[in-house]
């Protein structure tokens, strides 16, 4: 028994984000059905490359998909965060616009430029300008339910991204993998949910190890996007500094920093996310990295997702990370739902004005 088994400790999650995860299988089904039914009015033959445009909790779906399918991608796929589209994006580039609110400035700027460049486009949003502008221009938009925190609507972004890329032949056909992923989500909720006591619950055990420190999440290849997701969930849910890095790149720089980590080393809790699909050299690098950084960090944890396919294991690790970050919030006595700093920043930008964007004018703002 730990404090995470006490309902009064979990009660700080006032908006019920922890309980909300319990309906992830239904969310998955809804997102999959919506994406499979959406009419795509252009032929897959026109798509030569793909830009997945978004920010934050919406864009992360792009990271998860591009890193998971990287060596199976049949066309270039890149995640675009920011204002200016790359120069190469043109009429052969599919722009997949992901914005939960439909109001995120950077994503709207990308959306306008995609229209100007007469690129094929698809949107996924709960409303806002993405829905209205794209509606006016006949761009297909998958409308998803509103009222959620964007980061907690991940399946509404991730599942359609997989379905669209599969339908357009950018990645291999995914029917069986999606079925297996659905099973993995159900199993993860059972394994990591709040009803399972700490002694049998990996998510609660991890939260207890990570709540007091700075989680450093390391991924590689198929787990690279998951590492970023975990980091962002610690930031936004637990209001905790957290960072991520990727193997093998971190073997060429970050490991040296732990030689003289000083007081930061006492805070550093390293979580390494691995997968059986990784290159065998990654396995060796993980073992060596652990040995090299061990004297400079407070804790090192290595995790592998449960499941028979890469997508299923990704779902398992993503749901695990969501629960860990939410339990960590409870241990740190913070309500996981509000993200005041993001709201303050967006309000500041709105008042200092991006008038042309508000008016839906030119993309070159
Ligand atoms: C909030 C969150 C943020 C938003 C980001 C972009 O829960 O995760 O990172 O996702 O500010 O907003 P949207 O997703 O509405 O385009």
- pLDDT band for position 56 (50/70/90)? very high
DSSP string, 89-135: --TTEEEEEEESSS--HHHHHHHHHHHHTT--EEEEESSHHHHHHHH
236 belongs to the catalytic site: yes
pLDDT value of residue 116:
96
Same-domain status, 83 and 196: no
Closest C-alpha among 208, 201, 222, 177 to residue 318: 222
The rounded Å distance from CA 230 to ligand 1 centre is 15
Whether residues 141 and 219 share a domain: the answer is no
Does 233 sit behind a cis peptide bond, omega within 30 degrees of 0 on the bond before it? no
* 312 within domain boundaries: yes
d(CA 131, CA 142): 9
DSSP state of 363: S
Tokens 């993995």, residue located: 184
- 15 Cβ contact list (under 8 Å, min separation 6): 149, 335, 336, 337
pLDDT at 123: 98
- How far away, in angstroms, is 151 Cα from ligand 1 center? 6
pLDDT of res. 365: 39
Distance CA 76, CA 54 (A): 17
Contact between 248 and 301 under an 8 Å Cβ cutoff? The reply is: no
pLDDT band at 1 (very low <50, low <70, confident <90, very high): confident
d(CA 12, CA 15): 9
Residue 26 Cα to chain centre, angstroms: 19
Q: Which of 118, 152, 173 is the last residue of a domain?
A: 173
Same domain, yes or no: 251 and 305: yes
154 and 226 share a domain?
A: no
Q: How far is CA 169 from CA 44, 45, 165, 211, in A?
A: 7, 9, 6, 42
Output the CA 346–ligand 1 centroid distance in Å. Answer: 10
Q: Are residues 140 and 190 in the same domain?
A: no
342 part of a folded domain: no
Q: Which two tokens stand for residue 131?
A: 């829905």
Residue ending a domain, among 173, 206, 228, is 173
Q: How far is the CA of 91 from the centre of ligand 1 (A)?
A: 28
Q: Which of 204, 236, 274, 337 is catalytic?
A: 236
Give the model's confidence band at 355: pLDDT under 50 very low, under 70 low, under 90 confident, else very high. low
Distance (angstroms) between ligand 1 centre and the Cα of 150 equals 5
- 279 in active site: no
Distance, in Å, from the CA atom of 259 to the CA atom of 297, rounded to the nearest integer, reads 10
- Residues 265 and 296 sit within 8 Å (Cβ to Cβ): yes
Ligand 1 lined by 99 (C-beta under 6 Å): yes
Q: Which candidate, 139, 140, 174, places its Cα nearest to that of 28?
A: 174
State whether the beta carbon of 57 lies less than 6 angstroms from ligand 1. yes
Closest Cα to atom 11 of ligand 1: 56
Q: How confident is the model at residue 363 (pLDDT cuts 50, 70, 90)?
A: very low
Give yes or no for residue 133 having a pLDDT over 80: yes
What band does 62 get if pLDDT is binned at 50, 70 and 90? very high
Phi and psi at residue 298, in whole multiples of 5°? -80, -25
What CATH number did the domain enclosing 157 receive? 3.40.50.10490
Question: What is the token pair recorded at 138?
Answer: 């006949």
pLDDT at position 350 is 84
DSSP state of 262: H
- Identify whether residues 134 and 224 lie together within a single domain: no
Report yes or no on 356 lying in a domain: no
Query: What percent of the chain clears pLDDT 90, i.e. is strictly above it?
Result: 94
pLDDT tens column, 216-255:
999 999 999 999 999 999 999 999 999 999 999 999 999 9
Q: Does the beta carbon of 346 sit less than 6 angstroms from any atom of ligand 1? A: no
From the list 8, 71, 118, 252, the catalytic residue is 252
- Per the annotation, the verdict on 294 as an active-site residue is no
Mean pLDDT (the chain) is 96
Q: In the listed set 152, 173, 194, which residue is the last one of a domain according to the structure? A: 173
Same domain assignment for residues 132 and 194: no
Q: Is 221 left (phi over 0), alpha (psi -120 to 50) or beta?
A: left
As a whole number of angstroms, the distance between CA 116 and CA 174 comes to 32
Q: What is the pTM of this model?
A: 0.96
Tens-digit pLDDT profile for residues 181-210: 999 999 999 999 999 999 999 999 999 999
pLDDT confidence band for 364 (50 / 70 / 90): very low
Range of the domain at 246: 3-7+179-331
Query: Does residue 167 carry a pLDDT above 70?
Result: yes
User: Do both 292 and 241 map to the same domain?
Assistant: yes
pLDDT at 259 over 80: yes
Q: Within a domain: residue 365?
A: no
Judge if the beta carbon of residue 149 lies within 6 A of ligand 1. Answer: yes
pLDDT digits (tens, 9 = 90+) for 83-101: 999 999 999 999 999 999 9
pLDDT for 253 equals: 98
Residue 236: CB within 6 Å of ligand 1? yes
Q: What residues form DSSP beta bridges with 96?
A: 52, 122
């Amino acid at each position: 028994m730990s404090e995470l088994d006490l309902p009064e400790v979990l009660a700080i999650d006032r908006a019920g984000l922890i309980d909300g995860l319990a309906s992830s299988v239904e969310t998955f089904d809804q997102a999959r059905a919506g994406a499979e039914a959406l009419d795509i009015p252009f032929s897959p033959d026109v798509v030569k490359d793909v830009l997945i445009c978004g920010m934050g909790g919406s864009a992360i779906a792009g990271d998860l998909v591009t890193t998971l399918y990287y060596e199976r991608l049949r066309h270039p796929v890149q995640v675009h965060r920011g204002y200016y589209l790359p120069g190469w994006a043109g009429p052969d580039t599919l722009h997949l616009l992901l914005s939960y609110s439909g109001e995120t400035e950077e994503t709207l700027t990308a959306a306008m430029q995609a229209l100007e460049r007469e690129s094929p486009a698809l949107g996924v949003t709960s409303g806002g300008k993405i829905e209205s502008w794209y509606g006016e221009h006949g761009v297909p938009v998958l409308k998803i339910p509103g009222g959620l925190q964007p980061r907690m609507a991940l399946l509404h972004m991730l599942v359609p991204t997989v379905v669209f890329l599969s339908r357009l032949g950018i990645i291999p056909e995914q029917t069986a993998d999606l079925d297996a992923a659905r099973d993995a989500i159900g199993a993860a909720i059972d394994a990591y949910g709040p009803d399972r006591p700490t002694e049998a619950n990996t998510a609660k055990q991890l939260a207890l190890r990570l709540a007091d420190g700075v989680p450093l999440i390391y991924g590689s290849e198929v787990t690279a996007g998951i590492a970023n997701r975990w980091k962002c969930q610690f930031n936004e849910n637990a209001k905790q500094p957290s960072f991520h890095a990727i193997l093998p790149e971190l073997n060429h720089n970050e490991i040296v920093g732990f030689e003289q980590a000083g007081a930061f080393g006492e805070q550093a809790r390293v979580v390494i996310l691995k997968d059986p699909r990784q290159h065998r050299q990654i396995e060796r690098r993980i073992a060596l990295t652990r040995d090299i950084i061990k004297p400079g960090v407070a804790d090192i944890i290595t995790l592998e997702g449960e499941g028979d396919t890469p997508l299923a294991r990704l779902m398992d690790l993503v749901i695990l990370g969501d629960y860990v970050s939410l339990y960590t919030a409870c241990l740190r006595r913070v309500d996981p739902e509000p993200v005041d700093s993001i709201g303050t920043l967006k309000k500041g930008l709105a008042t200092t004005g991006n008038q042309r964007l508000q008016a839906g004018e030119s993309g070159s703002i």
